[in-house]
Structure formats: structure tokens, C-alpha cells
Structure 1
Amino acid sequence: MNNIETIDQFYKRTNQIIPSELLNAVGKPSHFNVKERSYSGKITPYNRRDHYKICLTKGRGKLHMKDKIIEIDRPALIFSNPTVPYSWESISKKQGGYYCLFNDSFVSPELKKGLERSCPLFNPTMEPLYFLNTVDYDRVNTYFFQLINELKGDYEYKFEVIRSILKLIIHEGIKLHSAHHAISQPGASDRIVPMFLELLERQFPVDSPENPLKLKSASEFANHLNIHVNHLNYVLKSHTGKTTTQMISNRIVAEAKSLLKHTDWDVAEIGYCLGFDYPAHFNNYFKKNTGLSPSVFKSHS
């Protein structure tokens, strides 16, 4: 299983010329690129990337990520975080729009400042996709057109201009998110929920049987957050309707399904890296939560 696709591998997979700044580079040079999205392969590999990506899509498709598939039947804006594995499956032959990609070296402190929790590009716990109406699509489409023109130009500070345009696109996503979620100033209890979710997501994806989960129980998460486990349970139950244990369990089951479906690891390896010392314990846990044994689920995937 190829866990992380590099920018070089992306260009090779899509039969594009690798940009000169990435050839024989020492370290990780800053890189940004933007392209029209006139064609997309039937389905891309399911894995993480070592870079950020923003897509403006026009065309039917499916976004595979974590343990869900998002059907896309109208224009959408998609933000890809390097820590989240995903795959794009084209349904319609004609695919339009744009995409841009860039690495950590390109991300300036000014670009990221204040957006760590409010944008899915930097916050893997957020939904990565926003559907667009005609007005929204035309506005974001204009921003991408500006990115292409700036990249072609020879202005000395063109990459600073590009970062400014990227920030406009990012804020379009934040505004779309705000339109669907009432946002209020969080109190101390309200801040616990995103802190817990961020800590939970940081345990995933599991990319090696030799790298098992570090935090598995409600008390371990509470200790890491420096709060009492009972208070953590109360806050999560009040905000989500689920206990800490239920939320951890749901995420572990989702990761188990992903590993069973997308890796060639055996059931015992998957169980061990998810915190189960004995295969029988993992089998019982998975069957209790899904109705199927891990082996049966894997054979049906």
C-alpha cells in the first residue's frame, strides 16, 4: 500500500512534466501550481498526499474519504488536507473546473494565521466539501483564473499575490460553512469539543502496523486535554449526543473499515495497530459495532 503520494508522484501519475524546482532539489523547495481540470482519470489512488490541494469541480463524481462516500452532482469546492486519505472517482466523462496544489514550504505564516480551526485545508476535522450555486461558482472560478494569470506572469512578488488570492478562496469556503452552521463565540466548554475532535483525528490515519494508536480510552484523552474524564463526557454528550467512548469507538471502527478495505494487512495486524492485543478481542469489537466479522467485511470489500 502506498500511504503518501508525493508531488513528484502526482505529476508522474497524471503524465505531467515535473516542475524544474522539484528536480534534484535539496530539502523541500516551495512549490505552487494551478491547472485547468478538463479531464480526470476514472479513479485516483486512495491515500494521503504530502501537499495541500484545492479543487473547483464541475462534473459528476464521488469523493471517497475515511469511511464515507460523498456524491457530487453539481459544482463544488473541495479542500484537501495532507493528513486525510481520499480518492476521487469520476462518474461523468467530462470534468471541468480547476485545481491548485502547494506544499508546506509554500504556506506562509500569514496565509495560515487565524485559519487553523476554521478551514478544512488546515483542520482535518471539518467537512472538506462545499456545494456552490451559480453565483458562488462564477466568483471562485474568477479567482482560479487570476491564479493562472499570476503564475504565468513575471512580477517579482507574484507568489505573494497568489497567496492573497488563495486566502480569498479559503474565505469563500469559510463563508459557505458559516451559511450552513450558526457560529457563536465559544465558551470554555464549547472549546473542548473541537480540541477533542482535533486530538482524536490526530491519531489517524494509521499508516503502519508498527505504529499503533497512542490514545484509546476516554481517560487517556481527558488526561491529554488536562480535564476530568467526567467533565469531558458531559461536554461531548451535551454537544454531540454521544459519549467520549462512543466517539472514540466510532472513529476506531471507521479506521478499521478503511484498513480492511484499502490495505493487505491481515486482521491481527489491523487489530493490534488499533489497540487490541488479541485478535479475538478485535473480532468481537468489530462484529458488535458492524454486525460482521472483520474477515467477512474484508471479503465483501
Structure 2
Amino acid sequence: MLPPVLSCGDPAGIGPELAAKAWDQLRADLPFAWIGDPAHLPEGTPVTLIDTPAEAAAVASDTLPVLAHRFPAPATPGQPDPANAPAVIEVLDRAVDLVMSGAAGALCTAPINKKVLIDGAAFAHPGHTEYLAARAGVDRVVMMLAGPDLRVVPATIHIALSDVPRALTPALLRETIEITARDLKDRFGLPAPRIAVSGLNPHAGEGGAMGHEELDWIAGLIAEMAAEGHAVTGPHPADTMFHAAARARYDVAIAMYHDQALIPIKTLDFDRGVNVTLGLPFIRTSPDHGTAYDIAGQGIAAPTSLVEALKLADRLSRT
């Protein structure tokens, strides 16, 4: 089985030091190939330059396998440089080419900073996920956060709360459920994934007393999809969906907006949550944190989420 590749992300963030720490924890137990400029890694990191991801397994026990990609400028921790932005995108492109050609088993991405990419490379996408979807020729993808005790999908993501009722349409919710169900079957090995859908309003609208979307169309769509064969239930009041007994009744929760989904998973296990992109023609995971410029280069960043992201990428590629 081919190993995953790890893109470097913003070299001024915590990505390079986490790559070194993740390698030190995993070594030959889970070889991966890091794509980036070796000069950006922490001083003293043992490195072997390789030409293909397949070579990673032979050297990972003693050194970090690196697919070298030279950057135009040095990396100063905590001080992002737009001059490096084009190379950050080049690394992403190289990683996508490797997974789509079958030369790597999966893609794990270290965090980027959208503003730096916009300033330095006229980046025209809302974020990592949308760029990867465009590169793969996919119109719609779904973000799932996965941890030891919960998988959750926000139907709408990085938009203002006031915009959610307009953005949340029957077509969007149906597509979110369909993509989630398909990837849980095909990649997570769940033959009939149980999907619990939250309501939009408090108490799932409480019969129209606190909102009408549930009565107007959400409940009807869920019933329609259940009749089509999906193991989908709801709309459930979001405030009672995430305690232990409730979580035992489903494999994934679909929430209506960002915080409704991310607050419970980050409360349950802040460090081990993993971002998984569903709907791509390849496996992509990422740690559930940002560039953390404020602590970059200090050696205190924890690699837990990145390690979990690499483990999940490897497991999904084997499935």
C-alpha cells in the first residue's frame, strides 16, 4: 500500500515542526512523504530526499522522507511571507497530482493562510477544500470532522449565521446527505451508515413555535430520503444530539451550520479531531487547527491532530 503525502502548508506556521514531530512519533509504523523545502524544517531534523512516495517506507524508521520543493524565500516562524505563496500552491498541486495518479495513497494537508495566498498568489478560492475540489474537477464536496467519539458534517460552513437560512436549501441538504452516505459506505466501510440530521432552529422548531423550516421542508426531505433507502432520521433538536446515549444511535450527525457541528466535536476531544473532505476522487484529511503563527517555532505545538489525520488517511487508503 502506498503511503500518504503531507503537504507543507504555510512554512511560517507550525506545519514544518509538526511534520517533524509526527514523523518522530510514527516513523516506520506509518511512513509518509513530506512535500516542502527541507530548509524550512526544524534544525536537526534528519531528512532523506526521495523521488517518489513509494520510497518513504525504506527510510522512515531513521529519517523523515522528503519530496523536496524549493521555496523562493526562507521561512521565519510567525512571520508569513507572501513571496512563498506561489510555492505553497505548487506543493498542493504536486500533492494532488501524486494522489490522482495513484503514486500516493492519500493526501494530508498542513494548514495554510488564505490571506497570505491571496496577497502573494491571487488565490481565488475560499480555502484549501475548495481549491482541492477545483483541481479535482468536482463541483461539490463536504467537510466532515471526525474524532474518536463523533463524526459530524456541517451542511453550511464559513458563512455568517444570518446567511444560513438562505444558503440552506433542500438541494444542498440532500446533496450533503448523499455525499456523506456514499463516502461512509465506500471509504469508511459502513454498509448502511446511520445519519442523524439536526434541526435548524432551537428544539427543531418546536412545532413551528421557534421557526418553520423544519415543518416547511426539512422533515419532508428527510422522510423522502428515508423512503429512498437512506438510514436517515431527524430533524433532531441539536441540543440533545451529542450526549453519549444519543451518539450511540448514529454513525454521523449532519448539522445545519458551522458552530452547531464544530462545538460538540471540539468539546469532546479538541486535540484529536480530523478534517476529512468527502466527495473528492481521492482521500484528503487535515488536522483541525490553523497555522498558529503565535506559537510557531517555539517547539510547543502539539502534533496530536496531525498524527490522527495521517493515521486516518492511511486507514482510509487501505479500506
- How would you bin the TM-score normalised by the shorter chain? under 0.3
TM-score normalised according to structure 1 size: 0.25
Q: Which has the higher contact order (CA 8 A, sep 6+)?
A: 2
